[in-house]
Amino acid sequence: MLLDRPTTLDEEDARLLVRHDDEAMRALYRRYERRLYGFGHRLLGNEGLAEELVQESFTRLWQSARRFDAGRGTVRGLLFTIARRVAADLLRRPSSRAFAPELAEPGAFEARADEILLAVTVRDAMMSLSPAHREVLELIYDEDLKLGEIACKLDVPLGTVKTRAFYALRAMRDALRDRGFDE
């Protein structure tokens, strides 16, 4: 008996979107609503607009589901592209202008959206790591500690810290690659 090979998250998302039924869309919503909300909140600076961004993004995803082509990209990529467009639409809407952040340059909105999307993706990738690996990376990058200092702080051998750092970086690279960020 042949076992089905494990599917990637992107393949599973594509199958759900192509199914185009209520249950599949609920699964996609549960998977991405918090990330979209965080993206919208950081970009728009308002909870109500962020909630509206999530709802409108999923509505547009639902409407475009039949045209989705997995060969051209991922559902996650499509959803965040839609969300970026929705955010721009919300900022242009007259009733939203009081909440719009000041953006001086014409391309500033797109640059800010890309920056926020990258930060959300990196945070999501970090959260996918084991607690021990995440802790070592946070101490290296957030607290700017050397490996010897981390060993003292965690009260573990230096070799253990080196091994955790090596595997943490490898796991982080894989997690980012799974989320569409190649080296």
What CATH number corresponds to the domain at position 162? 1.10.10.10
* Average pLDDT of the chain, as a whole number: 82
Could you tell me if 18 and 33 lie in one domain? yes
Give the model's pLDDT for residue 105. Answer: 61
CB 67 within 8 A of CB 96: no
Query: Cα–Cα distance between 88 and 100 in angstroms, integer?
Result: 10
Query: Cα–Cα distance between 13 and 25 in angstroms, integer?
Result: 10
Could you tell me if 76 and 59 lie in one domain? yes
- Please count the structural domains in the chain: 2
Could you tell me if 17 and 95 lie in one domain? yes
CB atoms within 10 A of CB 9: 13
What is the arithmetic mean of pLDDT over 29-35?
A: 91
The angle at the Cα of 131, spanning 127 to 135, to the nearest 5 degrees, equals: 95
Torsion of CA 69, 73, 74, 78, to 10 degrees: -90
Query: Cα–Cα distance between 165 and 175 in angstroms, integer?
Result: 15
**The domain spanning residue 82 has which CATH number?**
1.10.1740.10
Helix or strand holding residue 24 (H, E) = helix 22-44
CB 44 within 8 A of CB 95: no
CB 59 within 8 A of CB 13: no
Could you tell me if 21 and 104 lie in one domain? yes
Q: What share of the chain is helix, strand, coil (3-state, %, to 5)?
A: 80, 0, 20
What is the arithmetic mean of pLDDT over 21-39?
A: 90
pLDDT in tens, 86-115: 988 888 876 554 444 555 566 676 777 777
pLDDT in tens, 135-181: 998 888 877 889 999 999 999 999 999 999 999 999 988 888 887 77
Domain that holds residue 35: 9-127
Could you tell me if 73 and 143 lie in one domain? no
